[in-house]
């Protein structure tokens, strides 16, 4: 596919999908062929804005494209992704990858049979600050992550473990690179019928421990990762993409804040996806990584639902 633009469609143009359409319309090596949404009036409005065609159903666009991004409700991920793979179309599926691990396994197998790319939209992997801090981490002993948001309404149809915490699960699994040997969790349903706040404690075979907090009922937005290792402590602010570190050398504690050139993670993610499609290379977050993060997130939800936090008398 070298030398030609990748023809792509965005399936689902809600709050996330509309930004996919915007970015694809700006990328030099991509051609936004169409946007798909059951609300055809909305699809036509977005299509007019970004210079492409509007479709009501994804089946109408599959013959016209090389690849698609899927940004529909999670319960529809498997069906639409599978339809795309059956037609040998490369796909990027927003997180969480699917509703169940079984569905994830089926998509991975289908992508393998068709020799298609299957990327999962774990956006924070493309945060400039994460790229920076990853190169500084050697043998982490303790990781703390905090992802808090005021109640958004959007995403409340799934547990906060799948809406927010799954980002940090994916990142931590990648940073630690070791098998989970113990997992504990607690949380509560507060404003919705799903889990709105979750705490997880994860122990890995190599001795590293991770404490993960996610909430969509917080007073303000917080996105933070802390990593502790021998003689060093690092903090990433996902929002500013800044990394602060403290390191002990020669009996002295040195402190420094590094500010990488700020980039739009979603643009970096979609540009990477198109590059992988053109060059037939492995995505940064493949279906395998998406499945592993999903498996842990679902386990945390299961533990919380089995033993929810109780009110004190």
pLDDT tens digits, residue range 115-156? 999 999 999 999 999 999 999 999 999 999 999 999 976 556
For the segment 285-295, the average pLDDT, to the nearest whole number, is: 98
Cα(268)–Cα(279) distance, integer angstroms: 16
CATH for 125-262+297-306 is 3.30.360.10
pLDDT tens digits for 145-175? Answer: 999 999 976 556 789 999 999 999 999 999 9
- CATH number 2.60.40.10 is the correct assignment for the domain at 6-124+266-286: no
pLDDT for the residue numbered 312: 45
For residues 3-16, average pLDDT: 94
Locate CATH 3.30.360.10 in the chain.
125-262+297-306
Query: Over 50: is that where the pLDDT of 299 sits?
Result: yes
Query: Per residue in 248-286, pLDDT tens?
Result: 888 888 999 999 998 999 999 999 999 999 999 999 999
Residue 1 reports pLDDT greater than 80: no
Taking CB atoms within 8 Å and a gap of at least 24, the contacts of 156-159 are 156/191, 156/192, 156/194, 156/196, 156/216, 157/73, 157/74, 157/194, 158/74, 158/96, 158/194, 159/194, 159/195, 159/198, 159/297, 159/301, 159/304
At 313, the pLDDT band (50, 70, 90 cuts) reads very low
Q: In the chain, where does the domain assigned CATH 3.40.50.720 lie?
A: 6-124+266-286
């Amino acid at each position: 596919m070298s030398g030609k633009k990748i023809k792509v469609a965005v399936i689902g143009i809600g709050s996330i999908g509309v930004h996919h359409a915007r970015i694809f319309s700006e990328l030099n090596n991509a051609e936004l062929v169409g946007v798909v949404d059951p609300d055809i009036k909305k699809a036509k409005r977005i299509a007019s804005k970004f210079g492409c065609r509007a479709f009501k159903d994804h089946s109408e666009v599959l013959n016209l494209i090389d690849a698609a991004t899927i940004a529909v409700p999670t319960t529809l991920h498997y069906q639409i992704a599978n339809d795309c793979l059956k037609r040998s179309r490369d796909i990027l599926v927003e997180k969480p990858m699917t509703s169940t691990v079984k569905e994830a396994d089926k998509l991975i197998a289908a992508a393998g049979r068709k020799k298609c790319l299957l990327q999962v939209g774990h956006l924070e992997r493309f945060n400039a600050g994460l790229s920076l801090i990853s190169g500084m981490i050697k043998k982490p002993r303790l990781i703390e992550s905090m992802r808090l948001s005021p109640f958004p309404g959007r995403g409340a149809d799934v547990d906060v473990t799948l809406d927010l915490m799954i980002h940090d699960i994916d990142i931590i699994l990648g940073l630690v690179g070791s098998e989970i040997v113990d997992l504990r969790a607690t949380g509560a349903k507060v404003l919705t019928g799903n889990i709105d706040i979750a705490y997880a404690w994860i122990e890995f075979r190599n001795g590293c421990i991770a404490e993960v907090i996610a909430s969509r009922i917080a007073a303000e937005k917080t996105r933070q990762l802390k990593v502790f290792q021998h003689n060093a402590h690092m903090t990433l602010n996902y929002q500013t993409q800044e990394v602060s570190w403290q390191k002990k050398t020669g009996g002295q504690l040195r402190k420094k804040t590094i500010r990488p050139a700020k980039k739009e993670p979603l643009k970096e993610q979609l540009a990477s996806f198109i590059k992988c499609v053109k060059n037939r290379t492995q995505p940064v977050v493949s279906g395998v990584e998406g499945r592993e993060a999903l498996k842990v997130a679902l386990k945390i939800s299961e533990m919380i639902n089995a033993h929810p936090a109780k009110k004190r008398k």
